[in-house]
Structure 1
Amino acid sequence: MEKQTIVAPMTPNGVSAVAAIRVSGPQVKSVVKTLFGEKAVAGLKSHMAKLGTAKWPASVEGGCRTGAVIDSLLYLYFEGPNSYTGEDVLELYPHGNPLIVRDLLQACRMVEGVRLAEPGEYTRRAFLNGKMDLTQAESVADVIHSANRSELENAHRLLGGALSKKVSALTEQVKDISARMELDVDFAEEEADPDYAGWETRFVAIRQSVQGILDSFRGKAEVGRLPLVVLYGAPNAGKSSLVNALLGEDRILVSDIAGTTRDFVEVRLFLDGGEIRLVDTAGLAEKAADALDALSMEKSRQILAEADMKILLVDGTTSVILNPEGVKDPVGMNVHPDLVLQTKADLSRDVALNSVQGQLAISSKTGAGLAELKSALNARLFKNRENSEDLWITSEREKACLEEALAGIDRVLLQLRSNPAVELLAFEMQIVRRALQSITGEISSEDVLQSIFAGFCIGK
């Protein structure tokens, strides 16, 4: 059955230098003809970029825009099956004006048989056309949404087929044992009892492999959570100035008047290892000045309790801290800082940069110590994995399939140790095999596919 041709933007809505639109399906050449003319179709070569001027096609109403220029843009044609979806694909790269993107989408849809793509439909077609298996298809979303480098590297390993190879190897082992079992079922009356001892050893090894993959599971909430870093200290210690210096822009109001920050302010900061949540809290003192000040301090205490890393800022012009253990607790709740920063190093002659472990001297004005601070944050929050080849799974669907396979293996082992019937063993092995095949999509249902791809972006 011939599929409809689909079109959708690959880039988010908004103004940018360049946008991207993808068209996939049997009517791709008709779209090229409609936008760029007959000569453009004659000159199409797969995987070769072309510069063209897209114009409005003749509309059924004969509108005044017919023949008007939409945009001068770069376009790429990929002849199926050598494309992302396995079909003929056209990618358009116009200027990133939302009006241009909208007009191109409308012009493409004027070609008969072309419609807007549904969420995840491009990747779904790639799966159905054999360009990737289901574990790789699911990892596409992880590649897009990874919040740090270790997650991104893991997503790339999944997309590259690392998990698929492991599961396929296990599936082949199960298929081999299952085939031998079913053969024994067919000839059960003609031959002696099979050698169960040899089977048990192989099942134990398969179980360990399945359990190892299952143990690597990390839920979406755990993987997608950004590390939380909280800055705290006395009023006018330089917390807001530090946030602005780290961001490279005046994001937070700064004043010489103590207590300018009344509520905690959260920003996002990109480090080499990934993105973090950085929180600037209201100044803390032993006693609140008023009811509003007391409320601000209470909020600061609450966010400190959630922090992955607590950083105490001390005004370096008024006091020099020798070590974090000796810091006077300004919170009144025995909070131990993970790092102490002596601020305003440009105004203090007594501060020596990086002189004490667990302590840094910084200057938000000159930038002194900021690179060392970022390095310390990165090392603490994004620890390097000891084995870069390790991977973990994040899909609840894959986890459920592995659990089903593991339960089946356990039933097989239990039967093997209690004088089993070959027929029952063969039946359980079919369950294990189907569970493993479901992980990669070798066996799948329409409901499963709909559930997976419905959560994807429109253009992916």
Structure 2
Amino acid sequence: MDSQTIVAPMTPAGVSAVAAIRVSGSKVRDVIRLLFGESAIKNLKAREARLATARDYRTIVNGDRKTAQVIDSLLYIFFEGPNSYTGEDVLELYPHGNPIIVRELIQVIKSVECVRLAEPGEYTRRAFLNGRMDLVQAESVADVIHSANRDELKNAHRLLGGALSKKVKTLTEQVMDISARLELDVDFAEEEADPDYSTWGTKIEAIRESVQSILKSFKEKANVSRLPLAVLYGAPNAGKSSLVNALLGEDRILVSDIPGTTRDFVEVRLFLDGGEIRLIDTAGIADKASDALDALSMEKSKEILAEADMKILVVDGNNVIARNDSGACREQSVAEAIQPDLVVISKSDLRASQQDGNLHISSKTGDGLAELRQKMNAALFKKMENSEDLWITSEREKNCLEDALAGIDRTLSLIRTNPAVELIAFEMQLVRRSLQSITGEISSEDVLQKIFAGFCIGK
């Protein structure tokens, strides 16, 4: 393992109330001494938050430490290895979130011999190499950070907590037990009677079912992390843009009484209880285009609607003219060929409410907005089947499971043909290695490099 000490900010670049910097390695105490003086080392206690003034003691004038340049007044916490995130001595600094302060602190820390800037994912990589977590848990750290919805976040926490690791460890132990018995039969083949293949087959079949069950839970990360798309559409001046602004709680989109103000679709991000979604405000769809640009805008709106997970028809409450058999209101200027998932009647503050089965809202007063958010959340974040169980999103883990499954199938095929025990024992060794590769008991430098290269610096 790299013997150098590493430093990096844990918070994104930019201005904030508080920033965070992490230092990990054997030079942590030297860093504390440089920033806070010798007295800080003498009184150093693990896991104790301390308020102190960080100074650049390289700027001392005439040997007077009081002349050292003040960097910031901040909190710091020392974690003594191996009881830390990385398993090494760790220092966490919490200065004010001024980029100048963060940059200056890192520069001073890097001036200590054998201290360098951390590479992406290097803290978590060191945690894995030092036995603080296995490879499944290490991969799930990135999932926790980048989860796009609540279900995905819960699953990432289950993986980080070791739920999958425990399943794989149990399977590995079962395979190792069978392998040990097989190899024992190999060693004493001349002294024992023919092996009882039926007993082995039953146990291996049970392992196969468990591996296949985990493999079936695989979901592509791109699909799981994809933000659901809700699209508002309707006639010009139906109140779509006002509704977007009301849902966001800010004036994000230009609103006007002039029909056709929105000529192109506008996409924003909206947080619901289940997670973040993409919300699109489309150009109004009229029965007849006023010009070529208007026709192009309406065509673009229809294309966006084809991609939507939820189509919300916004109808101007002042222009509702009829009710069909199902109770849904229609508006003359809206293309009836587009089937909505939800009909919203806007501008309820300008007219008497009606019991027509539709959702009446007012972007001005906020009436109906909470119910709209609830309906959107229920439609876009449907409760997943077997939500108490977990799923995997790592292609690497999927490939390892497929290799294990293929090895098990070869083993079962060999058992049916009554072969030499040595062949079965060899196949089971391959199965064990595939399972151990999932948790990182067996791993190559190339695999580790690929996994942690996708992490952010500071994690």
TM > 0.5 between the two? yes
Partner of 1:49: 49
How do 1:50-89 residues align onto structure 2 when only pairs under 5 Å count? Answer: 50-58=50-58, 67-89=68-90
2:167 aligned residue: 166
Query: Which SS does the other structure have where 1:317 is aligned?
Result: helix
Report how far residue 329 of structure 1 moved: 8.0
The residue number in structure 1 matching 2:15 is 15
Contact 1:405 1:431 in 2 (8 A): yes
Query: Does 2:270 align with 1:236?
Result: no
> Which position in structure 1 is the counterpart of 2:428?
429
Letter in 1 for 2:381: F
Q: CA deviation at 1:331?
A: 5.6
- Report what 1:379 is aligned to: 378
Q: In 1, are the aligned partners of 2:110 and 2:117 still within 8 Å (CA)?
A: yes
Q: Deviations over 1:59-100 (max 9, x none)?
A: 6999xx971111000000001111100110000000001111
Aligned residue identity for 1:115: R
Task: Report the secondary structure of 2:319's partner residue.
Answer: coil
Partner of 2:348: 345
1:3–1:333 Cα change, 3 Å: farther
Identify if the C-alpha distance between structure 1 residues 36 and 188 changes in structure 2 by more than 3 Å, giving closer, same or farther.
same
Query: Could you tell me how far 1:41 is from its partner in structure 2?
Result: 1.1
State the one-letter code of the partner of 2:309: D
Q: For each residue in 1:196-220, what CA deviation from the matched residue of structure 2 results, as whole angstroms up to 9, or x when unmatched?
A: 1011111111111101111111112
Distance apart, 1:58 and its partner CA: 1.1
Residue correspondence of structure 1 range 4-403 to structure 2 within 5 A:
4-58=4-58, 67-319=68-320, 322=323, 323=326, 327=330, 332=335, 334-352=337-355, 356=357, 359-403=358-402
In the alignment, structure 1 residue 458 sits paired with structure 2 residue 457: yes
Q: Deviations over 1:228-269 (max 9, x none)?
A: 000000000000000000000000000000000000000000
Cα distance per residue 1:431-459 (max 9 Å; x no partner): 10000000000111111111100110000
User: Is the partner of 1:85 in helix, strand or coil?
Assistant: coil
Counterparts of 1:400 and 1:148, CA distance in 2: 25
Which secondary structure state, in structure 1, belongs to the residue aligned with residue 179 of structure 2? helix
Structure 2 residue ranges without an equivalent (≥5): none
Q: Aligned pair in 2 of structure 1 residues 321, 280: CA closer, same or farther (>3 Å)? A: farther
Change (3 A) 1:90 1:307: same
1 CA distance for matches of 2:136 and 2:322? 52
Q: Residue 144 of structure 1 aligns to a residue in which SS?
A: helix
* Cα distance in 2 between the residues matched to 1:457 and 1:67: 33
Counterpart contact for 2:7–2:118, Cα < 8 Å: yes
CA deviations on 1:169-209 (whole Å, 9 max, x unpaired) are 00000000011011111111111111110111111111111
Write the distance in 2 (CA, Å) between the matches of 1:168 and 1:136. Answer: 13
2:415 alignment partner in structure 1: 416
Residue by residue, what CA displacement relative to the aligned partner does 1:389-430 show, whole Å, maximum 9, x if unpaired?
210001010000000000000101111111121111011001
Within 2, Cα distance between the matches of 1:159 and 1:269?
27
How far apart in 1 are the matches of 2:387 and 2:277? 22
Please say if residues 324 and 337 of structure 1, whose CA atoms lie closer than 8 Å, have aligned partners that are also in contact: no
**Is the Cα contact below 8 Å between 2:59 and 2:68 reproduced in 1?**
no
Contact 1:73 1:92 in 2 (8 A): yes
**3-state SS of paired residue (1:58):** helix
User: Aligned equivalents of 1:77 and 1:320: distance in 2?
Assistant: 70
Q: 1:46 to 1:279 in 2, by over 3 A?
A: same
Q: Mind listing any 5+ residue stretches in structure 1 that lack a counterpart?
A: none
* Structure 1 residues 348 and 2: alpha-carbon distance in aligned structure 2, compared to 1, 3 A threshold: closer
Query: Do 1:320 and 1:342's aligned partners in 2 also have CA atoms closer than 8 Å?
Result: no
TM-score with structure 1 setting the length: 0.96
* CA-CA distance at 1:2 after TM superposition: 7.0
Letter in 2 for 1:452: I
What is the DSSP-based 3-state SS (H/G/I as helix, E as strand, rest coil) of the residue aligned with 2:77?
strand
For the residues of structure 2 that align with 1:246 and 1:434, how far apart are their CA atoms? 52
SS in 1 for 2:283: coil
Q: Secondary structure at the match of 2:371?
A: helix
What letter corresponds to residue 453 of structure 2 in structure 1?
A
Q: For residues 208 and 177 of structure 1, what CA distance do their matches in structure 2 show?
A: 16
* TM-score (ref. length: structure 2): 0.96
Assess if the C-alpha contact under 8 Å between 2:321 and 2:330 holds in 1: no
**Matched residues in 1 for 2:103 and 2:71: separation?**
10
Q: Give the superposition deviation at 1:318.
A: 1.8
Identity of aligned residues (%): 74
Question: Which range moved further: 393-402 or 2-11?
Answer: 2-11
**In structure 2, C-alpha distance between the alignment counterparts of 1:214 and 1:60, rounded to whole Å:** 61
- SS state of the match for residue 252, structure 1? coil
- The AA in structure 2 aligned to 1:435 is S
* Letter in structure 1 aligned against 2:255: V
